[in-house]
Structure 1
Amino acid sequence: MSLVARSEYALHQMVKRNKNWAQREPGVILVFVIVFLVVLLVIAMFINKKRQAAKAGIIAT
């Protein structure tokens, strides 16, 4: 194998390794982000409800 062919093969292997899963599957990443935001919203609503109850003097369980 010549030096040029070896370097081209090595370059091809490096380019092939740099392709990551997130670039190939952007829809799955979008779903993960949406689910994370919904969970974050639910947690924030729960915390806000607890703070409002404590502020009003009613400690809900």
Structure 2
Amino acid sequence: MAAISMPLAARAEYTLHQLAKRDNWAEREPGVIVVFVIVFLVAVLVIALFINKKRSQAKGVGA
């Protein structure tokens, strides 16, 4: 009896084939990537402003 059954080996080969044939989604959709980057940068900016405001209030500088 073989150590690896044929259906298991065939399934693994099919899975590797599916993974190998995938193309680059980000290359096909550059606009979506740009939107993700812009949203991320705006979120970082808002969080930084919020943290800066809290730090200045803790120091007693803000109103």
What TM-score do you get using the length of structure 1 for normalisation?
0.63
Size of the aligned set, in residue pairs, is 46
Sequence identity percentage: 64
Name the counterpart of 2:49: 45
Q: What is the deviation of 1:20?
A: 1.2
Q: Whose helix fraction is larger, Structure 1's or Structure 2's?
A: 1
Give, as a single letter, the amino acid of the residue that structure 2 aligns with 1:41.
Answer: L
Q: Secondary structure of 1:45's match? A: helix
Higher relative contact order, chain-length normalized (CA < 8 Å, sep 6+): 1
Structure 1 runs of 4+ aligned residues shifted over 3 Å read: none
Provide the TM-score with structure 2 as the length reference.
Answer: 0.61
* Matched letter for residue 60 of structure 2: A
> Tell me, which stretches of 5 or more residues in structure 1 are unaligned?
1-12
| 2:23 alignment counterpart | 19
Ranges in structure 2 where 5+ consecutive residues have no aligned partner? 1-16
- CA-based RMSD: 2.4
Distance 1:27 1:57 in 2: 42
